[in-house]
Structure 1
Amino acid sequence: MNIYSQLIRSFLFILLPLCTMSQDRPFEAEIRAFEKADSVSPPPQHAIVFTGSSSIRAWDNLQNYFPTKTVLQRGFGGSELSQVLLYADRIIVPYHPKQVVLYAGENDIASGKLSGQQTFARLVALFQHVRQKLPGVLFTFISIKSSPSRRQFFPENDIANRLIKQYLAKHKNTQFVDIRPVMLGKNGQPIPALFKPDSLHMLPAGYERWTRVIQPYLK
C-alpha cells in the first residue's frame, strides 16, 4: 500500500462518522439552499464550478469577474476539505462541470487540529472522488493563501501547498494556481489593503488580483 492510499484510508476513517449522520450536518442548510435554487432555476450544465470555503462563498458577483466564462458559485460556509467531499455529490457532480475550481484547506489547518500533511491527505481523497465521478473534468486547486490573522499557520500552509502541487503535477487535467505571490508585498508579507478588518476575508482588491491570476487557467 503506497503512502497516498494510507493517507486516504486514515482520512476516510475519520470522515465516516460525518457521512453517516442524517441530521445536523455542517452547512446542510446552505447545501439545501443551493438545491432549492437549482429546482427553481436550473443552472447551466458544463459550467465552471467554483467551490470551497468562504473565500469562494464571499466572492460577490463572481460572474462579473469572468464575463466570457459560464461560472457557477458553490462555495459554502467556512468549509473544510472534508466537508467539500461530504457534499461533492450534491454541489459538484450533478452539474457535470467542464472544470472544478477549488479553494479549501486553509480552515482545515487553522482549526489547529490538522497538519499540512493531513490537509494534503484530505485533498487527495476529494480529488480522487471527483476524478472517479467526473473522469474528464479539469481540476484546478487555488493555493492556500497567507491570511494575516493566521500567521502561525503559514508553515503548515506551505507544506500543504507544496505537497498538493507535487501531487497534482503527476495527474492529467489538473492545475495548481499559486495566488500567493500577488498577495504579498515587497517585504514578503501579506498586503493588508487586500483584506477586510478581520485580516482573513478579502476585499474586492484581493479578488481583482485573484482574477488576473486565475483567468488564464479557466477552460
Structure 2
Amino acid sequence: MKKLSLILLFLTAFITLKAQDAPFYNEIRNFKKQDSIQFPPKKAILFVGSSTFTNWKDVQTYFPNHVIINRGFGGSSLPHVINYAPDIIFPYHPKQIVIYCGENDFTGGATAQVVVDRVKQLIDLIRTKYPKVPLVYISIKPSPSREKYMPQMVEANKVIAEMTKKLKRVTFVNTYDAMFNPDGTIMTDIFLKDNLHMNAKGYAIWQKIMEPYLK
C-alpha cells in the first residue's frame, strides 16, 4: 500500500511538472487565478488569440459600450488556442467570440492552407460547446517584421473569408487593407519598435473597423 502511494505521488508530481513545461502554462494559470478572484460576467464579448490581443491591455476603453473579456496569450498559434479552449473559451458563456490568431503559425512553418484548416478546426471545436454564439475572425495583419510571409497571409485571409461566408454566424473582418499607405507600403507608425505589435494608433484603426461587428 505504501509502495502504491509513493507511485501515485511520483506520477502526480511528474504530470504537474510536464504541465508546467507546456507552452504558455503560466499565462493560462494567471487567467485561472484572475477568474478565481473575480469571474467575468456572462454574455460578454470574448477576445481570444495571440499577442496582438494580449498587448491590447486597454481594449475595454476602445469598446466602452461592450463588456470585453481578453484572453489573448503570448505568441500563441492556432494549435495553442485549440489546446487551451477548455481553459480560455469554454468557461465564459460569451455572447460573441472574436478571434485573432494565425500570424505566428507562419513563423512555425505553416502554409496558408494549414492555417485555414486550423481556423476551421478551432471554429468546429467552439461549435461543440457554443453552437449558436456568433464568431468573428479578424484578418491576419501585415506586420513589417514579417513581410516575407505576406503572400501566404493574403492567401490565407482570402480563403478564410470565403470559407466563413458559407458558415452560419461566422464573420470575417478585414483589418488588413487598412494598414497600408496609399503607395502600397505597410504603415510603420502604427507599430511598436519591434515592427510586429501595434501601438495605440494601430488599435484605433482596428477599433473603427471592428466596432460595427460587435454585438
Q: Same fold (TM over 0.5)?
A: yes
Tell me which structure has the larger Cα radius of gyration: 2
List structure 1 segments (4+ residues) > 4 angstroms apart after TM superposition: none
CA distance in 1, matches of 2:93, 2:79: 21
- Aligned with 2:98: secondary structure? strand
- Secondary structure of the structure 1 residue equivalent to 2:91: helix
The Cα offsets for residues 120-144 of structure 1, whole Å up to 9 and x where unpaired, read as 1111111100011110111100000
Structure 2: runs of 5+ lacking an equivalent: 1-17
- In the alignment, residue 65 of structure 2 is paired with which amino acid? T
The Cα offsets for residues 143-198 of structure 1, whole Å up to 9 and x where unpaired, read as 00000111110011011111111111101111100001211110112101000111
Runs (5+) with no aligned partner, structure 1 = 1-20
Q: Does 1:141 align with 2:137?
A: yes
Contact 2:47 2:53 in 1 (8 A): yes
In the TM superposition, residue 23 of structure 1 has moved relative to its aligned partner by 4.5
2:48–2:71 contact (8 Å) kept in structure 1: yes
Question: What SS class does the counterpart of residue 200 from structure 1 fall into?
Answer: coil
Whole-angstrom distance in 1 between the partners of 2:156 and 2:177: 16
- TM-score normalised by L of structure 1: 0.88
Give the Cα separation in 1 of the matches to 2:139 and 2:40. Answer: 27
Whole-angstrom distance in 2 between the partners of 1:96 and 1:53: 20
Equivalent residue runs for 1:37-186 within 5 Å: 37-111=34-108, 113-186=109-182
- Residue aligned with 2:84, SS: helix
Q: Aligned Cα RMSD in Å?
A: 0.9
State the percentage of identical aligned residues: 43
Count of residue pairs the alignment pairs up: 198
Q: Distance in 2 between matches of 1:110 and 1:118?
A: 12
Once the two structures are TM-superposed, the CA of residue 22 in structure 1 deviates from its matched residue by 3.9
Letter in 2 for 1:216: P
Partner of 1:194, secondary structure, is coil
Q: Indicate which of 200, 208, 212 corresponds to 1:204.
A: 200
